[in-house]
Chain A
Amino acid sequence: MQSIQKHEAPDSSVPSLDIDPFSDDFLTNPYPHHERMREAGELVWLESYGIWASARHNAVRAGLNDWENFISSAGVGLANFRTEKPFRPPSLILEADPPQHTRSRTVLARILSPRAMQQVRETFQQQAEILIDKLVDQGDIDAVKDLSEVFPLKVFPDAVGLTESNRENLLLYGNMVFNAFGPRNHIFLEAVERYEPVREWIMNRCRREELRPGGFGDQIYQAADAGEISYEEAPMLVRSFLSAGVDTTVNGIGNALFSLASHPEQYAKLVARPDLARPAFEEGLRFESAVQTFFRTVHRSVEFCGLPMRENDKVLFFLGAANRDPRQWKDPDVFDIERKPVGHMAFGSGIHGCVGQAVARLEGELILSALARRVKKIEFTGEPARRLNNTLRAFDSLPMRLIPH
């Protein structure tokens, strides 16, 4: 066993664990580790990185809603921007506090509002049906490469207003960004290596002349025209669409398909009632949360969950563990598409709660309902293969057979 530097807890009363939440072992199957952290306390210390961790639902929710004590402007990854240089220019919404955050969020929330979703719904639905029809003809598919990557890469960049070519670059970008919230481990370094060649392509996509007039991206520039944000901020906010809008929904959909294929009786319920598509996607997010974790930084020394946290400490909130906390959920390890898991943490909570959640729900609902209407059964034809990511719960491939009605 490799010896690692051990960081002592600040106080002997603090439950201290030797868990490394970014090891291959943890990321492959986090659930036993989640349970160990939840049972150790509301707030625990992880010696591997010298960070706090919170895995219970009540503590995760309380921490994420306390944006004044647990700030985002010092980074929502392991790095502390107060003492370390950020890996990339910080996001104006994710890695920001009010008032900057409020300004960015107001613009993005309007562009991605439920009302805006009503306007794109029909187009998204047509695309879902076209894709499922094609996959039914194909029969044997990889539900990642042929479905969960394809659908979000079609509808979301279309709505943002990107051209068709080279969109798969967005997957490399998202993969890198979400890995960068962890340590500089082998998973991160490999992701950076794959991303480097497309860096310039990504940044160029954020320019106004590259974006279809009227699309989500162009609407950000319209907000700059109206003086709500500056012209320097506009491309940075388009960048947020590109980093946060694809790999998240790709895995939300992939994880839902994995859960449904692993629970044929739940898929049968969905087939009998395709109107369960939306709650089924929601339960998929609870059961296998696409975004597993986010960090915050302690603004000033504070007591939280009865423990003393020091200024500049980092704290890791486990969304995926909160979503399986038996204190919050009855039978948390049971996947039940009729559960209606209101209050799950998969989109975060509070002022930084996912601003694109209406888009994510729309995509998830439409693809699952299109699938249920055409396909009687989904069966694995091979072993699911994981793609390890420091933040995301992701698959590399999900070999499946679609058996039509």
Chain B
Amino acid sequence: MHETVFLVDDDPAIRESICDLLDSAGIRTCCYSSAEEFLSQLSSASQGCLLLDVRLPGMSGMELQGLLLERRVALPIILMTAHGDIPMVRKALKSGAVEFLTKPFQDRELLDSVRQAFTLNRTSRESEAAFQSIHQRMQTLTQREMQVLELVTAGLTNKEIGQKLHLSIVTIKLYRGQVMRKMQAESFADLVKFWQTVHPAEPHKDK
């Protein structure tokens, strides 16, 4: 699946010219004349970014942005308008738009924004994939192994963990080896990284 710019604008001249410009830069483009048309063809496999005019017939660009946010569609959004006022820009950026372009804009502005959005999309896809894989591996752990993982990543020694769980150090070492194997961790550092990927902002319980 290629990275694509999904362009939604009701003005055919704009659609044509932007499509051609992106084509000249080797970027694939799909054009839609309304938000509804775009939604009907949106799939979960869509990659790239959305280039969206604010003023559209029917559902407006801002409304579409809200809807995509609700549906957890990860496509970054670049908004365009022919009369951008500050409050509208602020609102759009607050609700997750990557960039706000005021028509008329230079080709460099557009291409930079698109590339930036692509990068963003790629990163978020990769981190999503990583998250999924760690999450899957974590599912295979037993309850006891989970407890050990949690305490290990919190920085406790084997002895401390043993005292906490009323188990011998030997048993803890056994569980720890099991966790390393199941999580496919090369080192203790990997283990900590995996834990943080799944629980990013959570402050640790024992700290």
The finding on whether chains A and B are genuine partners in a shared complex, rather than unrelated, reads no
Q: Residues on A close to B: CB < 8 A? A: none
Q: Residues on B close to A: CB < 8 A? A: none
